[in-house]
Amino acid sequence: MIHGNERMHFSSDYMEGAHPLILKRLFETNMEKTSGYGTDEFSKEAGNKIRAACNAPEADVFFLTGGTQTNATVIDALLHTYQGVVAADTGHISLHEAGAIEAGGHKVLTLPHRDGKIAAEDVSRFLRDFWEDENHEHMVMPGMVYISQPTEYGTLYSLKELSELSEICRTNHIPLYLDGARLAYALAAPENDVTLPDLAALCDVFYIGGTKCGALFGEAVVIPRHGLIPHFMTIIKQHGALLAKGRIAGVQFDTLFTDRLYEEIGKPAVEAANAVRKALKEKGYRLVFPNPTNQVFVLLEKEQAARLSEQIEMGFWEYTDDTHMIMRIALSWAVEPDEVKRLIECL
Amino acid sequence: MIHGNERMHFSSDYMEGAHPLILKRLFETNMEKTSGYGTDEFSKEAGNKIRAACNAPEADVFFLTGGTQTNATVIDALLHTYQGVVAADTGHISLHEAGAIEAGGHKVLTLPHRDGKIAAEDVSRFLRDFWEDENHEHMVMPGMVYISQPTEYGTLYSLKELSELSEICRTNHIPLYLDGARLAYALAAPENDVTLPDLAALCDVFYIGGTKCGALFGEAVVIPRHGLIPHFMTIIKQHGALLAKGRIAGVQFDTLFTDRLYEEIGKPAVEAANAVRKALKEKGYRLVFPNPTNQVFVLLEKEQAARLSEQIEMGFWEYTDDTHMIMRIALSWAVEPDEVKRLIECL
Amino acid sequence: MIHGNERMHFSSDYMEGAHPLILKRLFETNMEKTSGYGTDEFSKEAGNKIRAACNAPEADVFFLTGGTQTNATVIDALLHTYQGVVAADTGHISLHEAGAIEAGGHKVLTLPHRDGKIAAEDVSRFLRDFWEDENHEHMVMPGMVYISQPTEYGTLYSLKELSELSEICRTNHIPLYLDGARLAYALAAPENDVTLPDLAALCDVFYIGGTKCGALFGEAVVIPRHGLIPHFMTIIKQHGALLAKGRIAGVQFDTLFTDRLYEEIGKPAVEAANAVRKALKEKGYRLVFPNPTNQVFVLLEKEQAARLSEQIEMGFWEYTDDTHMIMRIALSWAVEPDEVKRLIECL
Amino acid sequence: MIHGNERMHFSSDYMEGAHPLILKRLFETNMEKTSGYGTDEFSKEAGNKIRAACNAPEADVFFLTGGTQTNATVIDALLHTYQGVVAADTGHISLHEAGAIEAGGHKVLTLPHRDGKIAAEDVSRFLRDFWEDENHEHMVMPGMVYISQPTEYGTLYSLKELSELSEICRTNHIPLYLDGARLAYALAAPENDVTLPDLAALCDVFYIGGTKCGALFGEAVVIPRHGLIPHFMTIIKQHGALLAKGRIAGVQFDTLFTDRLYEEIGKPAVEAANAVRKALKEKGYRLVFPNPTNQVFVLLEKEQAARLSEQIEMGFWEYTDDTHMIMRIALSWAVEPDEVKRLIECL
C-alpha cells in the first residue's frame, strides 16, 4: 500500500479498516438473518470464546462500539450517584473523553501518575485520607478505580502491580475496572506478564478493545462475576451504546477469539515499535515515556518535528515548552516490514 | 437463503448484515490508511453526496452509529437544560429508548398521536397553552419538536403536514428534528411526497438512517444550516458517539449515496409489504396502523399468533386485551420474492 | 391585617411567614452556637419528636428546604439510573417542577389520575404490562411510586387506598414515596383516616411539609426503615439541599412537633375552605375537584373571574375552554375568621 | 452567652442564627401576605438596594438558599453541556460540594492555587494550551472561570488581580463568576480594595453570601448585565433552589442592605481574627494560609490539637503529616469581645 514517495502515516493505530479474517467472516455471514441487540448466535459464540480465553466460565460479556462510550457506560453502571472514579491524571477518562464521565454525573478523582500508572499505595492512601477526612460527607466518595492496560503512555501494569491494586480495591469494597482499548498490544509484548485469565481474576470489569486492535469497531466488556451489574443491557441502551445489529460486533470478536488471533494480532506492531525505538536511540533522539508496546513517544524540537512531518505523519502529544514537543508514532496490527524500514530510514 | 421447511424471520428489518455493495466497498478500501473521527476522505465524500442529494450545499453532516444514540445526542445539543422535546406519545424517544433523553436531563413532552403522527395544530395549541399558562416558569419549556418519518407505525407525513409543522416551529423559534431511522422505506413508498430536499428545507436537523436501511450500522445527521450546532463534534464525543474509525460509516454512506442506492434500496421491502397487506386482507385478517411502508401490523388472537409463529417469526408489538395482540411483520431491503411468496402461503 | 377595602389574597397557602410560635423559638435560640448541617441538638430533638409522632422509633429524619428539591433528591436517591418514577399525570413532579426529576436523569412514568390520585389497580396493571412487554429491556423500568397527600387537587387517599398501593409496591419490591407538602391540611381534615403512624407503616419514604404548613421553609423527610438510603447526607449535599445552618429547620420542626402543633395547624384552613365551598355552592358556582382540604377550586367564566379578581386574588389553575377557567382559592393555617367572612361576602 | 467554664465554639462562622435586625424584621413582616417565588415587594426592594450598593442599575438579582446550590445552579446556567469550569484546586466546587457540579454534567478544570487564588497568567496559559492542543475537540472546553472572595484560605484577590482575571475572561469570551459566600468578611478587611461596584464591573455573575454573613440562610446572585441568563427563574426551580416563600430571603437581604449593614457586619470578626493571629504568633504557634479575613489557620501537633480542643472547638482542616494537622478558628459576625479574650487566654 505504501509507495516510495508517499508520506507515511503513523498518527494512530486505527488508520486501517479491519483484519482481513474479520472482513471475510462478515462477508460470509452477511445474509444470514439474526435477532438483534446482541442476542444472536454470533455474539453468543463470541462470548463463549471470550469466557474460555479468560478462564471465566461465569462471566457476562457485552459488546459496545467505542472506548469512550464503554467507559462512560461501565462507570455509570458501577457507581452510585454520589461516587466518583479514581484514575491517573493521565487517564483517558481524565483528559480525552470530552467530559463523558462528568456528563453521567460523576467526578474523576485524579491521582498523579507514575509512568502513566497509579500505584496501589497511592490509591490506598487516597482512600484512607478520604475516610479519615472529617468533611468526607461533603466530598465525592471514591467508588471505583479505573486503570488502562496498556496505559495512555504505552506502559504496562505487571502482574504484581495489578494484584496489589486488586487487593486494595477488594479490601475497600470498590470495583477495579480496566480499560483495554489497546489490550492486544499488551498481550503481544514480551515484557507482559498479565494474561486474560489474570484480568478476569483480578478485575471486576474490564474491556477487550477491538477498535484499535484489528476490528472495524467494537469493545467487549467482560464482567467475570455473573450478575454483578443487573440490567446492564438497559443501561447500555440508555447510553446509546446498544447496537441494533449486535451480530456485527459478535462476528468480529468471534473471529478475534478464534485460533488466538487476538493474542497474536498485536505482535507485528510491538516488534515494529521496538525497532523504531532502537533506531531512534541510535540516531540520538530522546525517547520519552519508555514502554514495551506499540506506541513510540519522541521528544522533538519544533523545527525537527516540522521537517520529519513532511515524510511521516505522527500524532501530536503535547508541547513541553515553547520550542519542544512530544510526538507519537503509533504502529498498528497492520504494519508491514517495508513500511517500518522506510520509516526508520526517514528518521 | 431460505429453505422450504425453515422458520421465516420477519421480526425486524435489521436481521441481515449490509447491502453487498457496502461490503464490497469496505473490502476494497480496507487497507487504506485514513485519519480518524470522521475527518477522512470517505466521510467527506459521503457528506458531499448527501449534501447534493438533499440540495443543501451548506449542510453539516455527521455520522453516528445508532438511532437512540443519535436522538439523545442531537436533542441534547439542541435544547437548553430547562427545555424539553415535544413528541408523539408513540414516538421512539417516548417509549423505546430506555430513558436516554431523560438521562441527558430532558423531559419528553408527549402529545397524543394521530396514526403515529403529531398534527401541527396540536403542537400549536400545546405551545400556546404553555406560554399562556401563568405557571409556565415552573414547567418544562417546549424547546424543539421531534417527529419520525416513517413513524413508529410506518405512516408518513405528507409534504403538507410536514410544511405545517415546520411553519409552526419557525413561528415559535424552536427547531424541528426528524428521526429518519427508516427513511429509505419512506422514500421508496409510492405514496410518499416528501423528498430529501424537502427534509433539508423544512427541518432544522434530521438523520438519514443506515442501520435499518442496508448499512452494518450508522446514521447520517444532516444540519442544513451550517453552524447551527457549534462544537457538535465534541458533543458527539461526549455522548460516546464518535467513531474512532469514522471511515467505516463514511464508506457506507458514500456507497448508499452513489447511484441513488439509498432512494432505491427500500423498494423491494415496500413492494413486499404491500403484497403481504393485500394477502392478509384477502384472508380476513385485521390490519392495524395501515401504512404505505415496510412494516405490516396485524391483529391476532393469541392462539392464532402462536400458530403462525411456528412458521413465521414476527415482532411482538403490544397486547390489546387479554386475548388479542398486535404483531409486526417487518420487510427489509434484503427481502427476496420467494420469501414473500412463502410467507403469504403460510398466513 | 386585612382592612375593609383592601384586596384579599388567596392565591396560595404560603403567603404569610411562619407560625408565631416558630418565630418566637427562632428568636429565643438565635444566639446559641450549634454545629452545622443538621447535626445540632435542635435538629436531633425535632427528629426525636417526629419519630415519636410517627411511631417510627428507627426512622431516619432529614430536613431539606423545599418541595421540588426534596422530591428531586429523594427520587434520585431511590432510583437506579435506568429506572423511572410512576406518578399521576397531575402529580407535582409531572407538571410543576420545571423538569427537576428529568434533570436528575429519570423519567416520570405517568398514569391517568382519578381525582388527583392513582389507583392501586392501575399501578398494578402498569407494572405487569411493563414486565410482560417483550421490549421492556428497551424501556424505562418503573422503580418507585410517587403520590401526594393531599394531592394537587386537594383530595385524600383513604387508609384503604394507601394500604393497597403500599401492598402493590411491596409485592413488586419498589418503594412508595409520599409527598406531604400540605400534609398538615390532610391531618386536619375530618374526612382523613390516614395518620402519621400509618404513613410510617405504609410508605418507604415520605416528607412532612413545612413550607406550606406554617414554617418559613423546610420539609422533613422521614425514612421509617433506618439505613434504607445509605449516605443520604452526601446525596442531599450533592443536590444543593443541605442547609449550613440546619438548626433553622430543626427549630422549626421542633416547634411544629411540640404539643401536636402540626396536627392542629391546618384546622382553621380546612374549616374556612369548607365554609367557602358551602357558600360557593349556595351561590350557584360550580366547584371542581371536590375535596376535603384547604384548597377550593371553582369554575368561572373569564369575565366572572376578572370581576372577582378585583377584590379577591385567586390562583390561576387552568383554562377549560376559550371562555372558562378554573381558579383556586387557597386557605392557609393563618386564615382569620373575619377574612373568611369578607371573602364569602365578595363571592 | 459564653460562661467561664464552657467549651468555646469556633469551628465555623455559621454557628449562630441571624443578625438581630434580621430577626426583628422577619417578626415585623411575618403576617403580611405576599406572592411567592421572589416576586414579592421585599425581594424587589432587596434587589433595588443591592443594585444601588453595587452601582449596577441594570443588574438581575435572585435569591437562593445555600452556597453549593448557588454554585451548581449558576455554573449549570452559564455553561454549555460540553464545557467545564476553571477553578483553583482548592476551590469549594473542586473539593467540598459532594460533586454537585459534576452531577450537573460539568467537569471542574483545576489549576494549582497560589494562596487559594488562581493567577490571571495561569488561566491565560491554560486557555491558550487548550485551544492550541490538536486534540481539544476531544477535551472539555473551558467555559467559565470560578473564583471565591475571600478564598477558601481566607485570602483576597486585589483589585489588580481581579481586573486581570476579568480581562482574560473577556478576551476569551467566557464569563467570570465569583463565589462570595463570605463576602462580608472581605468587605470588612482593611486590606481589601475590591468594592461591590468593582465586583459588578468585573464579574459576569457573583453572589453575595448571606448564610455565613449574618442571615439565617440565603445567597444573592447578582448578574450585572440584565438578561445575561434567560429563564434563570426556571433554571433555579429546576435545581430545587426556588424558595416558595421567597420573601424570607428578600426580607433578610433588604435588612442586610439597609444602612450598609452588610458592609459593616463582618468587622468584629475580622478584628477578632487579627487579634487571635497576633496572639498565636506571640505564643509561638505557626500560622498557615496567612490572610486578612475572619478565618485563622494554625498548624498543630496532634497532641496539641487534642489538648486545645478540650476548651476550644476548632474546625478540622487537613492532616499535613502523621503528627501534624491544620485547624481552623473561624470568627463570625456575632463574636463578642469577652469571647475573644477568653479564647486568647486558652491558647
Interface of B with A in 92-111 (CB under 8 A): 97-100, 103
Interface of D with B in 141-200 (CB under 8 A): 141
Residue A224 Cα, gap to closest chain D Cα (Å): 29
Say what the pLDDT of residue B16 is: 97
Say what the pLDDT of residue D125 is: 97
User: What residues have CB less than 8 Å from D229, skipping those under 6 apart?
Assistant: D60, D77, D78, D205, D223, D235
Which grid cell sits at C113? 389520575
- Test C137 with A238 for CB contact under 8 angstroms: no
B323-339 burial, b for 16+ CB within 10 Å, e for fewer? eebbbbbbbbbbbeeeb
Say what the pLDDT of residue C4 is: 53
User: What residues have CB less than 8 Å from A6, skipping those under 6 apart?
Assistant: none
Mean pLDDT for A176-185 is: 98
- Residues of C with CB below 8 A from A243's CB? none
Which grid cell sits at D22? 434580621
Residue C259 Cα, gap to closest chain D Cα (Å): 22
- Residue C140: which of B82, B98, B129 has the nearest Cβ? B98
- Test D137 with B234 for CB contact under 8 angstroms: yes
How confident is the model over D134-167, as pLDDT tens digits? 999 999 999 999 999 999 999 999 999 999 999 9
- Residues of A with CB below 8 A from C237's CB? 137-138
Chain A touched by B252 (CB under 8 Å): no
Residue C24 Cα, gap to closest chain D Cα (Å): 9
Chain D touched by B81 (CB under 8 Å): yes
How confident is the model over B298-315, as pLDDT tens digits? 999 999 999 999 999 999
Q: Which of A22, A28, A238, A309 should we substitute to test contact with B (largest number of B Cβ atoms within 10 Å)?
A: A238
Chain A touched by B320 (CB under 8 Å): no
Chain B touched by C138 (CB under 8 Å): yes
In the chain, the amino acid numbered A3 is H
Taking Cα atoms as reference points, which of A330, A326, A306 lies closest to residue A318? A326
Burial of C3 (0-12, 13-18, 19+ CB in 10 A): exposed
Q: Which residues pair with D316 in a beta bridge?
A: D327
Mean pLDDT for C246-251 is: 98
Cα–Cα distance for residue pair D271/C122, rounded to 1 Å: 65
Cα–Cα distance for residue pair D210/D312, rounded to 1 Å: 25
Chain C touched by A138 (CB under 8 Å): yes
Mean pLDDT for A58-73 is: 98
Chain A touched by B139 (CB under 8 Å): no
Cα–Cα distance for residue pair A27/A23, rounded to 1 Å: 6
How much of chain B, in percent, has pLDDT values that exceed 90? Answer: 96
Give the nearest chain C residue to D95 (CA atoms): C238
Residue C138 Cα, gap to closest chain A Cα (Å): 6
- Test A30 with B17 for CB contact under 8 angstroms: yes
- Residue D100: which of C17, C238, C247 has the nearest Cβ? C238
Reported as a pLDDT band with limits 50, 70 and 90, residue C5 is: low
Is pTM beyond 0.95? Reply is: yes
Give the nearest chain C residue to A104 (CA atoms): C105
ipTM: 0.97
Reported as a pLDDT band with limits 50, 70 and 90, residue B4 is: low
Say what the pLDDT of residue B2 is: 45
Chains sharing 3 or more CB pairs under 8 A with chain C: A, B, D
Q: Which of D14, D97, D102 should we substitute to test contact with C (largest number of C Cβ atoms within 10 Å)?
A: D14
- Residues of D with CB below 8 A from C11's CB? 35
Q: Which residues pair with C298 in a beta bridge?
A: C287, C327
How confident is the model over B31-71, as pLDDT tens digits? 999 999 999 999 999 999 999 999 999 999 999 999 999 99
- Test D14 with C1 for CB contact under 8 angstroms: no
**C250 in Cβ contact with C44 (< 8 Å):** yes
- Test C133 with B318 for CB contact under 8 angstroms: yes
Which residue has 462470548 as its cell numbers? A47
H and E: helices and strands count for chain C:
15, 13
How confident is the model over A319-346, as pLDDT tens digits? 898 899 999 999 999 999 999 999 999 9
Chain B touched by D138 (CB under 8 Å): yes
- Test B216 with A17 for CB contact under 8 angstroms: no
Say what the pLDDT of residue B342 is: 96
Say what the pLDDT of residue B128 is: 96
- Residues of C with CB below 8 A from A235's CB? 81-82
**What three-state secondary structure class fits D121?**
helix
pLDDT of residue C199 exceeding 60: yes
Q: Give me the half-sphere count of Cα atoms (radius 13 Å) on the Cβ side of residue B212.
A: 27
Reported as a pLDDT band with limits 50, 70 and 90, residue A6 is: confident
- Residues of B with CB below 8 A from A1's CB? 31-33
Which grid cell sits at C306? 376578572
Say what the pLDDT of residue B1 is: 44
Cα–Cα distance for residue pair D7/D3, rounded to 1 Å: 9
Question: Can you state the percent helix, strand and coil of chain C, rounding each to 5?
Answer: 40, 20, 40
The residue ranking higher by pLDDT, B222 or D321, is B222
Reported as a pLDDT band with limits 50, 70 and 90, residue A80 is: very high
Q: Which of B24, B238, B328 should we substitute to test contact with A (largest number of A Cβ atoms within 10 Å)?
A: B238
Which grid cell sits at B236? 458527539
Reported as a pLDDT band with limits 50, 70 and 90, residue C257 is: very high
Cα–Cα distance for residue pair B221/B179, rounded to 1 Å: 9
Chain D touched by A139 (CB under 8 Å): yes
- Test A107 with D129 for CB contact under 8 angstroms: no
Q: Which of A35, A37, A39, A81 should we substitute to test contact with C (largest number of C Cβ atoms within 10 Å)?
A: A81
Rounded mean pLDDT of chain C?
A: 96
**What three-state secondary structure class fits C132?**
helix
Which grid cell sits at A333? 496490527
Say what the pLDDT of residue A5 is: 66
Say what the pLDDT of residue C6 is: 82
**What three-state secondary structure class fits C169?**
helix
Q: What is the edge-to-edge ordering of all strands in the sheet holding C205-209?
A: C60-64, C219-223, C205-209, C176-180, C141-148, C83-88, C108-111
Which pairing describes strands C324-330 and C315-319: parallel, antiparallel, or unpaired? antiparallel
Mean pLDDT for B200-227 is: 98
Residue D66 Cα, gap to closest chain C Cα (Å): 7
- Residues of C with CB below 8 A from B95's CB? 139
How confident is the model over A112-171, as pLDDT tens digits? 999 999 999 999 999 999 999 999 999 999 999 999 999 999 999 999 999 999 999 999
Chain B touched by C82 (CB under 8 Å): yes
Give the nearest chain D residue to C336 (CA atoms): D31
**A236 in Cβ contact with B69 (< 8 Å):** no
Q: Where are the alpha helices (DSSP H) in chain A?
A: 20-29, 41-54, 67-78, 92-95, 100-103, 120-132, 159-171, 183-187, 196-202, 232-238, 247-256, 261-264, 267-282, 302-311, 337-346
Regions of chain D short of the pLDDT cut 50: 1-2
How confident is the model over B248-288, as pLDDT tens digits? 999 999 999 999 999 999 999 999 999 999 999 999 999 99
Chain C touched by A341 (CB under 8 Å): no
How confident is the model over C22-62, as pLDDT tens digits? 999 999 999 999 999 999 999 999 999 999 999 999 999 99
